[in-house]
Amino acid sequence: MTAALCISGLPTDRFKFIGFLPAKSSQRKATLVNYKADIETIVCYEAPHRIVETLSDMVDVLGTDRPAFMAREISKTFETHLHGSLQELLEQVKADSNQQRGEIVLVIAGDAGLEDSVSVGAEKVLRLLLQELPITKAASIAAKITGGDKKQLYQLALALQGK
């Protein structure tokens, strides 16, 4: 996991390691929805016999243009690295059956739209307030505390609540 994250070229200052995603597509998509709006880089493992389906689910949930990286067989003879968007990775893996073998680590960029608009401190304040308050009130108070934009914090709150 660490080696893949380091060579991915994606942000390493904040990341989430989520292990293996669920085997069933519906459960996998439901899990991915929970991470869709997160600004942290996501790192996970995937079984070779599920890599095409997983990448397809990631495209469906996270979008075609989300930057991603796939490392296969790290520190072994047939080590490979694939860079590109989730859609590009899916196409590369489909086109080369060798990419559907071995130990696989996926590294997916966080949601850049939220990262650019809301500071890390404002997000932390908002997350704490959302535990106790309705979305509108939490966003309003977070904006007052941090000096952030109330509308951006409200949009982030909606994303964090999965709405």
107 or 11: whose pLDDT is higher? Answer: 107
Q: Are 24 and 66 contained in the same domain?
A: yes
Q: Are 138 and 128 in contact (CB under 8 A)?
A: no
For residue 27, which phi and psi values (nearest 5 degrees)? Answer: -70, -40
Q: Are 70 and 49 contained in the same domain?
A: yes
Q: Are 106 and 122 contained in the same domain?
A: no
Does residue 116 register a pLDDT over 60?
no
Residues forming beta bridges with residue 106, ordered by sequence position: 44, 70
- Strand boundaries in 33-133, DSSP class E: 41-46, 67-72, 80-85, 104-108
Q: Are 12 and 87 contained in the same domain?
A: yes
Q: In this predicted model, what pLDDT tens digit does every residue of 72-98 receive, in sequence order?
A: 999 999 999 999 999 999 999 999 999
C-alpha span between 160 and 75 (Å, rounded): 37
Judge if pTM exceeds 0.85.
Answer: no
In terms of residue numbers, what domain contains 53? 2-111
Q: In this predicted model, what pLDDT tens digit does every residue of 59-76 receive, in sequence order?
A: 999 999 999 999 999 999
The CATH number for 91's domain is 3.30.950.10
Q: What is the mean pLDDT of residues 129-136?
A: 93
119 or 33: whose pLDDT is higher? Answer: 33
pLDDT band at 160 (very low <50, low <70, confident <90, very high): confident
For residue 107, which phi and psi values (nearest 5 degrees)? Answer: -125, 120
- Mapping DSSP to helix (H, G, I), strand (E, B) and coil, where does residue 129 land? helix
Q: Are 24 and 102 contained in the same domain?
A: yes
Q: Are 21 and 92 contained in the same domain?
A: yes
Last residue of a domain, one of 93, 111, 129: 111
